[in-house]
Structure 1
Amino acid sequence: MNIALQPSTSKEGSMLEKSVLPQTESTKIMIVLNVKDFQECCLELVRQQIAFEVKYNGYSSPKTVTNRDLASVSNDNYLVIVKKIHDEYLQGDFSNVPPSEKEITKIHGIKPALFKTLFKKVYGQPFYQLYTTKRLEQAASLLKKGYKANEVAVMIGYSASSAIKFNKMFQKHFHVTPKKYQLQFYGKINRR
């Protein structure tokens, strides 16, 4: 069955009227919208898994856009954002703690739930779990270079007063205290 949606003649220009047309071989929906409502309409068509074609000012798109096409383009765009967030917050310097996931997603224009799902799918663990893992791996590397645990704590973003918290996190991750970790590599610790 074909359904044609046309603007109503009422005062509300965004209202749409539905008319049922005779059934034909293929199902098509024609929608006349203003620019503001276009994106919302496309998302609804995708949500309902309805293939659609976009015509603008009388020019037709070269091919019919399917749900799969839209989903892959959308996911590709979001995957680029997820990779950008990963590179921005999880590469290199860990001396500054990143903002909350909610703030990060707001900055980068991605919904928090989608970000969490895609991030875990791509990197195998949630954002802050991976952040903590990488941060503690950097701490282990610095300990191997001979830095003291309280120096390392400050270097990876813990305040001087929270060195105990760093020790507990390190021990939880590596199952050994920072000092014992150094002793495993050096026997007697050679300080820089």
Structure 2
Amino acid sequence: MNASLQPTTSSEGSSLEKSFLPQKESTKIMIVLNLKDFQVCCLELIRQQIAFEVKYNGLTSSKPTVTDTFETPVFNSNYVEIIKKIHDKYLQGDFSNVPPSEKEITDNHGIKPALFKSLFKKVYGQPFYQLYTTKRMERAAFLLRSGYKANEVALMIGYSASSAIKFNKMFQKYFHITPKKYQLQFYGKINRR
């Protein structure tokens, strides 16, 4: 589905013109929105991975006497695909290597940092590093349930030998229990590998 969106400034606020015709691949819908609603609509279309095209007819003065028309950058599924590639590359797997900074990631994938941050959060519901930490702790919990010692798990998910205390604190922050007590919940006594 393609949608043509035209933000306008009017005294009525936002109005919605829509057609209830059967939707086909080439069907276009015109939606007239104020700026705030326009932003919300665009982000929702991106989150739902719906391809759309934006046309902007802006007013150059407070009086509607001169109208400039120009094409704005199209938010398309290419950006969503880049976000998915980044997710799959850095947030799937064993977490033994800490990912590079967001700036390095965005430079490597040709996306602007601000766009990356907003799209990633819209698509996955959390900022990149927050989701990374969450998945890392979930992996740690799985390894602890598998019988590995806490210091082994820390090394397996990318903490150095000298930062095992950081791992314990981070694990406790997420699960409100130490790694050893977490294991005891599952085994009564710890069955080591």
Q: Into which bin does the TM-score normalised by the smaller protein fall? A: 0.5 to 0.7
How many residues were matched structurally? 130
Deviations along 1:59-111, whole A, 9 cap, x unmatched? xxxxxxx959x63xx33111000000000000012000000001000000000
User: Paired residue for 2:127?
Assistant: 126
1:190 equivalenced with 2:181 (yes/no): no
Distance 1:134 1:172 in 2: 14
Q: Secondary structure of the equivalent of 1:105?
A: helix
Q: Look up the equivalent residue of 1:170 and give its one-letter code.
A: F
Structure with bigger gyration radius: 1
Q: Percent identity?
A: 78
Structure with the bigger percentage of helix:
1
Asked if 1 retains the 8 angstrom alpha-carbon contact of 2:106 and 2:112, the reply is yes
Find out whether 1:49 has 2:50 as its counterpart: no
Q: CA–CA distance in 2 between the matches of 1:83 and 1:50? A: 32
Paired residue secondary structure (2:56): coil
Q: Which runs of 5+ in 1 are unaligned?
A: 1-45, 52-65
Partner of 1:26: none
Query: Partner letter of residue 135 of structure 2?
Result: K
> Partner amino acid for 1:96?
N
Aligned residues of 2:94 and 2:139 also touching (Cα < 8 A): no
Q: Distance in 2 between matches of 1:103 and 1:97?
A: 13
Cα displacement (A) at 1:50: 4.2
In the TM superposition, what is the alpha-carbon distance from 1:168 to its structure 2 partner?
Answer: 0.2
What amino acid maps onto 2:188 in structure 1?
G
Unpaired stretches in structure 2, ≥5 consecutive residues = 1-52, 59-69
The 1-side partners of 2:130 and 2:146 are apart by 25
RMSD value, Cα:
2.2
Moved over 2 A (4+): none
SS of the aligned residue for 1:166 comes to helix
Counterpart amino acid of residue 150 in structure 2: A
What is the CA–CA distance in structure 2 between the aligned matches of 1:87 and 1:48, rounded to whole Å?
A: 32
Structural mapping, 1:146-157, within 5 Å: 146-157=147-158
- Tell whether the 8 Å contact from 2:140 to 2:157 is kept in structure 1 after alignment: yes
TM-score, length of structure 2 as denominator length: 0.63
Which has the higher relative contact order, 1 or 2, with Cα contacts under 8 A spaced 6 or more apart?
2
TM-score by length of 1: 0.64
Partner of 2:88: 87
What residue identity is the alignment partner of 2:56? Q
